[in-house]
Amino acid sequence: MYRSAFTVIFMLAVSSLYAQNDAAPNNPRVASTRLTLEKADAERPVNNGMSGKAYRRMLPAGFKDIVEAEQRDRIYATQKEYHAAIQRLKARIEALEEERDRAYEAILNEEQREHIRKYRENRKAASKKTAETLLPANTEQIESDTP
């Protein structure tokens, strides 16, 4: 049941991407998005589910105590089967979000873009300062816990 539900969602996502691209072939924004997506697909390596950090075999919540060994293996095989496709879709989503953010900034005038740039720099500096103040406290706690 979960596999068929995922397949339906996957097919809807893929078809909506193609429908969006075919909707306005002469629109320069759609054409640039299409080029951005093709470039993102070409530049990003497709993870085949074999690297340990990017792909982790894990049973869905609540399955651990009820599945048999053969079912567990089939679940892991299903995860591996869908992993690469999911990673490609995530890459496409990331590319679309980047394109959207560039479109947002294109709407702003130069003064507004400068204001946003300074705002982002201030947020980054504040985040870095917070991390620096918290890091020594965590390090001391870790050192005191070790025998």
The predicted structure's pLDDT at residue 131: 86
Per residue in 52-97, pLDDT (tens digit) is 446 788 899 999 999 999 999 999 999 998 998 999 999 999 999 9
**pLDDT at residue 107 above 70?**
yes
Q: How many CB atoms lie within 10 A of CB 83?
A: 19
pTM exceeds 0.85, yes or no: no
The predicted structure's pLDDT at residue 144: 58
The set of long-range contacts for 123-130, using a CB threshold of 8 Å and a minimum separation of 24, is none
Which is nearest to 55 in space by CA: 81, 94, 93? 81
The predicted structure's pLDDT at residue 104: 95
What is the distance between the alpha carbons of residues 18 and 12, in angstroms, rounded to a whole number?
A: 10
**pLDDT at residue 23 above 60?**
no
Residue that wins the pLDDT comparison between 147 and 60? 60
* Secondary structure (H, E, C), 113-126: HHHHHHHHHHHHHH
Q: Over pLDDT 70: what percentage of the chain?
A: 57
**pLDDT at residue 41 above 80?**
no
The predicted structure's pLDDT at residue 129: 87
